Amino acid sequence: MTTTNTTTHNTDATILDRATIVSIRIGRLGIRRKVGSDRVRIRETLQQQAAGTTAREPDADLISVSKEILDCKEFDSIISLDNETRTTVNKLALPFKLRAGSYLVADGILDRVDTILEEYQQRRRHMVDAFLSVYGLARDEARGRLGDLYDAADYPDADDVREAFTVRIRFESWGTPQRLESLSQRIYQRERDRTARDLQDASREIRDGMRVALSGLVGHLVDVLQPAPDGKPHIFRNSTIENLSGWLDTFEARNIVRDGELAGIVQQARDLLAGADPQSIRKAPMIRNMVRDGLTEVRARLEQLTETRGRRFNLESETPAPASPAGPGGTAETPASAE
């Protein structure tokens, strides 16, 4: 029994050498501001008063109102890029819950993620420049649209605005800090035992998450390949197949838990999709039916694997605080968590 546990711990521990934590924190100008309770007005109350009917004035202290100080497509483009990058990294990361803004990335695709993040930062710098070039005009437009709710103090100087747009990226190892061993053998041993238990949970979570993710992609494709009630084929987007193919292409690099059962199913799915691009599936009923029937079998195998799910594991003992509204400096920083 002892030998079995040791073997399991050693097997789980190998994932420490196969994955890296990528931490991403994104900062930008905060454009929402709270409107003071003394400025709150209720439209219905004013309309009733204008009509000569009696209406009780609401207690402004019980009402929270905010305003957006800018409406600018250049700023919206930055937010879209931030969200797009979060989504891209999250798709490539392993299905393992870390603290907000952190992703567990298999070492086999770490360079790919690094390239994505470098390109993202370069694109973002250009977008920030574009935003700053129209910042003054956007502020002037807001002055007219906000009326008496406009407050010049809500708008930092251009230099301060630029400094608000930050990206902090860190690549971190995880597991028991080896430095503890030289400080306290008792603490080190306790943390090593805790890490061993956590790694077993992590391995199960990654394994189950990968199985569920593939099951969802396969199931969705099978559903759209089924005939519609009138017997005609459903219309589907190219991304329906491209998302599945992309997942299969990165599986080997992300299979850090060495899930042999899932690897066999992945190979079966790859064989079915070999040469079956979206266009051929649309135009050739024989290919469409072959892919559908084959993936139906794949889905059945996946359903057997996903009947039991492991518990969720979080590296942090406390839930991270949500991003706070912009403070006096007019900036806000948010972890790049999956949305």
- Note whether residue 202 is domain-resident: yes
Q: Radius of gyration of the chain from Cα atoms?
A: 26
Question: Is 4 a residue whose pLDDT tops 60?
Answer: no
The predicted pLDDT at position 323 comes to 37
Query: In which element (H, E) is residue 313 found?
Result: none
Do 168 and 187 have their domain in common?
no
The verdict on 32 and 154 lying in the same domain is yes
pLDDT bin (cut points 50, 70, 90) of residue 277 is: confident
pLDDT digits (tens, 9 = 90+) for 7-21: 334 445 567 778 889
Domain of residue 203, residue span: 183-305
Measured in whole angstroms, the distance separating CA 48 from the mean position of its chain's CA atoms is 46
The residue among 305, 94, 282 whose CA lies nearest residue 218 is 305
CA-CA distance, 43 to 62, in Å (whole number)?
A: 16
Q: Torsion angle of alpha carbons 125, 127, 133, 134, nearest 10°?
A: -150
Q: Report the range of poorest mean pLDDT among 30-44, 107-121, 279-293, 302-316.
A: 302-316
Q: Which is higher by pLDDT, 182 or 86?
A: 86
Q: What contacts 280, CB < 8 A, 6 or more positions away?
A: 287
The answer to whether residue 331 sits within a structural domain is no
Per the model's pLDDT, the better-predicted residue between 49 and 148 turns out to be 148
The mean pLDDT value of the chain amounts to 80
Q: Which of 154, 174, 194 is a domain's end point?
A: 174
Residue 159 has pLDDT above 60, yes or no: yes
The pTM score is 0.74
pLDDT at 326 over 50: no
What is the rounded distance in angstroms from the CA atom of residue 33 to the CA atom of residue 142? 13
pLDDT for position 126 = 97
Residue 318 inside a domain? The answer is no
73 and 160 assigned to the same domain: yes
User: What is the number of structural domains in the chain?
Assistant: 2
In a domain, 108, yes or no: yes
Alpha helix segments (H runs only) across 14-157: 43-50, 73-92, 110-146
